Amino acid sequence: MTSTKRRGSAMIARVVVALVGVGCLLLAVQGAVQATGQGVVLMGDRKHDLPAFHHQVDMEALWQQFVEQVPPGSRISLVEPRRNRELWHQRLNELAALRGCVVVQGAPWDYSVGVASVVRKRPTSPGVRLVVRKAD
């Protein structure tokens, strides 16, 4: 009879240890699932999309510099940028239209406008600057 009691108490101890282990596993899995869910939400959030954020910062900086340096209604000639030619050519045309400027090619112009790449000092600083030269 004593051997039966020992088996029963050993079995109870094993069940208790297994239940504690399963409880700890469930707590760990809950934290992992929450962290994964938050990561997926961050990856899908446009606010945390770094290339899109950099492009937005660059566009805002170019617009501010364009407004400060090029008077409305000016005739401008676009200088081809070294990098991303199609992108910056299109964006400079858009900025000129918003400012009421006329983009000319080969005709007399008041200002030449181009884009130059610069090193970002911080992640929130622009990576481009506007290069404006007045016609002689």
Distance CA 28, CA 32 (A): 6
Distance CA 81, CA 114 (A): 6
Residues in the chain: 136
Q: Residue 39 carries which side chain, given as an amino acid letter?
A: G
Q: What is the architecture of the domain spanning 49-134?
A: 2-Layer Sandwich (3.30)
pLDDT digits (tens, 9 = 90+) for 63-101: 999 999 999 999 999 888 877 788 888 899 999 999 999
Domain boundaries, the chain: 2-46, 49-134
Which segments of the chain does DSSP mark as H helices, in order?
Answer: 2-44, 50-69, 85-99
pLDDT digits (tens, 9 = 90+) for 40-53: 776 666 666 778 78
Residue among 130, 65, 63 at smallest CA distance from 98: 63
> What is the radius of gyration, based on Cα positions, of the chain?
32
